[in-house]
Structure 1
């Protein structure tokens, strides 16, 4: 079986490195295709800690790339580092595919990597399966054209480079060896052409990251700017808070909350749309959610064409009642 590389999506903080859930999801998908291996680009002294986390989800080898010389630059150095890890894997026949989280940074790394390796690229996959018959490029599923079509696609040249949307599958634990291999990389001067001169930590909300959350509660024009019912329900469910373009354009929430074609694309297990009419640009950002619930006073709202469950009513009445019920059931 060929080796499948998974780029570890992680966060660094005062307490060290924490591996994000999409990494475990991609390792689960990688196990369908071959032998999962993880690639960690970060502090070298955190390599063993990361290996301990990812081996629980099947990672046989954990390639550790010290990012000391990569810090302070944009993503080009990471793409070069990942290319050199692929070359190391190539000593054993080369990876069967490379899986990367479908974030803004992840997609840029994937694009640069595809060019460097002259390989095909597939972005925003919601599923990855082994090709029928074996020995062929993995088959991916994508939601395209604003969510109106679901397509199957596969790479026809080079090593398949695939970015996978968070929440595409449920992580499945599977014991792996977690053998750590340190990889020394050389980054070209060209890759260091764009340097970060200032960075400020984003203010923590205590809620999950929007693109990774398993549950999202979003508010739209129907909130009238009063997002308290949306936020209270989200907190009761342990969910992230999102917003429609109308709510963002009205100044009720910053652009970082926006879900849609001109905002973020999400695919949670549960999506609750409160006071959102369901314009096509919003649907494009959340249509692949596993279960969709809408609350809207207008029974003719387009959002009801898409939902699994719909409630015709005022969100300022429905959401507080739902929040109270959730709290009681959690007691």
Structure 2
């Protein structure tokens, strides 16, 4: 609807038909304009009836989607609330977007065809959302911006299932539900363990906001070691320009055991499964425990020292058991 007076004609048509306009927004899309109306119709009206009403008033490419009372709330506020639910409450991105885009199926025959919205996450994966009514350009832009703001958070948000303290440590993929546990892990680690991980002294305590990237990275995967109710180890596997790197942190009370080896093996398996032919582990120069862990995992390694850190590069073509052989 992009000609003068058409909004007035639409309002008159709705009034004559007993359809109440509860809210509307106008979006300029280049040479076209998209008008979004929130309406309530008389009892017995179908989606087709509403579509025909707006088409008869001069609308083109009309689509109708059933909404709940939340649709009368300002759209920007709804989307900002959705971002908070993902980042703070740990809700799944796809579930929140499904609510924001009102993807529940209609109770009438589809008149406009089935539409699939393909959204690109930063890590290259795709999120598909489908609806009987077509998505408008405005909805597509909002959904992509929402995904970017939440950094494409992936994975289940169910709380971690706790394990009895007597059980052996378990290595698993991290999720947003692990934020608090990973913050607590940093609080329990010594300055030495934190320096080995980050190669710089941490001046401030780790916060939940900082930790979100550690459990849901943009380009890779996060791993945790859980023992009982606690996370006692964490590893961050990332890919940048074809180079796969891995950094890990183990609670001091568990250093020197087999947790480092378990994390290294799991990280290597993930990287190889994603097509990597080499993995580089990065740590401080003084961290001999990690070098031993690489050997216990059965890798041959190339060691390089760069600006106060050590880069331990291992080929992933094969993973034979044996000692580490270093060059460099």
TM over 0.5: no
TM-score normalised per structure 1: 0.29
The structure with the largest alpha-carbon Rg is: 2
